[in-house]
A and B are shown apart, each in its own frame.
Chain A
Amino acid sequence: MKTDRNFTLTYILLVIAQILICNFINTGPYVFLSILPAAVLCLPLGIPTILLMIIAAVTGLAVDWLAEGITGLNMAALIPVAFMRNLTVSLLFGEEHVDRGEGFSMKKNGVVKVSVAILVCQAVFLAIYIIADGAGTRPFLFNLIKFAISLVCGYLISLPVVNMLTSDKK
């Protein structure tokens, strides 16, 4: 119970951190930093997909409302991450992780597999976010560069987030 409470608190703090990043850290036009995909990835595996998508939607909406953004943008990008989270975990760590609701961590599953999971979630999130944000007005090359740089940066800031959220589940 204590672990669950700690996780919920950590998750809320991460959402607040994301709001602060959006509001106060100016990364320029080519970088978009988000820790939300990593946060959704690390939500307990026992949560059903429907609830997971609702949590992702609420999280995205909170960031959209409280940060300087277009309402619905983070929400639209984060829901697919939640939708495919269990599939990603099943493919990378084995189906038993999802079936048993067993958590994953860098120590247990290795940095490579966890990194791939982070990159997949970040890629899905960024692809939708960048395309929807540009709304067909930006050149493909711009979107591609922004995607690549944001993916690398997002991966780097997601590593400690994942480590923090999964370290309690030993």
Chain B
Amino acid sequence: MSGRTHIFRIIINAAVFIILEVAALVMLTHNGEMQNIWISKGIHNVQSFLWGGAENIWSYFTLRRQNDELARENFRLTNALRRYGPEALRGTDSDSDSAVIGGYRYVMADAVKVSNNKQHNYLILNKGYEDGIEELSGVVTNSGVIGIIDAIGRHYSYARSFKNSGMVVSARIGKEGPVGEIMWDGMSSNGAVLREIPHHIVLHQGDTVYTSGFSAIFPPDIPLGTTGEATVVNGSTYNIKVTLFEDFSSIRYVTIVSNIDKEEIQELENADED
């Protein structure tokens, strides 16, 4: 008997077996009340298992779309909170990718490429000058400062990451505490150093560090991280270790923020320097 005939015979036998067994089970369900309930329960269990499995597979393949929708929703809610607080969560425009709030223009963007393992890291974002992006705009999330836009293309922009040895951001301990400058510690993925904090200040470990708003790039009160161990430098200021909130390895959705009055502020600064 050839292999193919043998397999064909096995398939036929299995098919007839299944048909006869199904016939027997149908007779059982029609003649035994308990068997009817038992078999119905079994069928329902199989159905729910199959439907649940199919649902899980469908959910898995639609995760990307759901993520995009959630990011858009998150952006809308964040903008509403920035503008008015919780009262504004009703009736905001959910379709727009940008919003102007409190002197800053916010544009939602996707990070299409992120460099994380170098001393000079960068991000490529999917918004360019056609989307109204300008150089020296900030890149933020709800969990911290991500970087600064350095170069702009038509549809994409290049941002210098906060994880960059030369990048410094003005920061404040608490919402009304002393102001210093925060920079990446150059070693860990979520470590930073807050410098220039006056020596006379009483520090508490675990205090939240926010952006100060003392720059033309980042708006105030974006939480950055929590304070840790402090060391005195030159007998006059503290260097404080900060554990950042943002996980740079999983950045996907960001907000590009630009100060509408940036040019006016820079002109004033330039006039003062002249």
Chain A residues in contact with chain B, CB under 8 A? 49-50, 53-54, 57, 60-61, 64, 70-73, 75-76, 79-80, 83, 132, 135-137
Chain B residues in contact with chain A, CB under 8 A? 9, 12-13, 16-17, 20-21, 23-28, 30-32, 34-35, 37-38, 41
Contact B27 A50 (CB under 8 A): no
Main secondary structure on chain B at its contact with chain A? Answer: helix
Interchain nearest-CB distance for A88 vs B (Å):
14
Interchain nearest-CB distance for B226 vs A (Å):
55
- Residues A76 and B24 in contact in the complex (CB < 8 Å), given A70-B32, A132-B35: yes
Interchain nearest-CB distance for A37 vs B (Å):
15
Contact B28 A76 (CB under 8 A): yes
- Residues A54 and B35 in contact in the complex (CB < 8 Å), given A73-B28, A76-B25: no
Main secondary structure on chain A at its contact with chain B? Answer: helix
- CB < 8 Å neighbour of B21 from A50, A70, A79: A79
Provide the residues of chain A in CB contact with B23, threshold 8 Å. Answer: 57, 72, 75
- CB < 8 Å neighbour of B28 from A57, A71, A136: A71
Interchain nearest-CB distance for A11 vs B (Å):
19
Contact B20 A135 (CB under 8 A): no
Q: Which residue of B lies closest to A137 (CB)?
A: B34
Contact B26 A53 (CB under 8 A): no
Contact A83 B28 (CB under 8 A): no
Q: How far is the CA of A54 from the CA of B21 in the complex (A)?
A: 11
Interchain nearest-CB distance for B36 vs A (Å):
9
Contact A72 B24 (CB under 8 A): yes
- Residues A135 and B37 in contact in the complex (CB < 8 Å), given A50-B13, A60-B24, A76-B24: yes
Interchain nearest-CB distance for A36 vs B (Å):
14
Q: Which residue of B lies closest to A56 (CB)?
A: B20
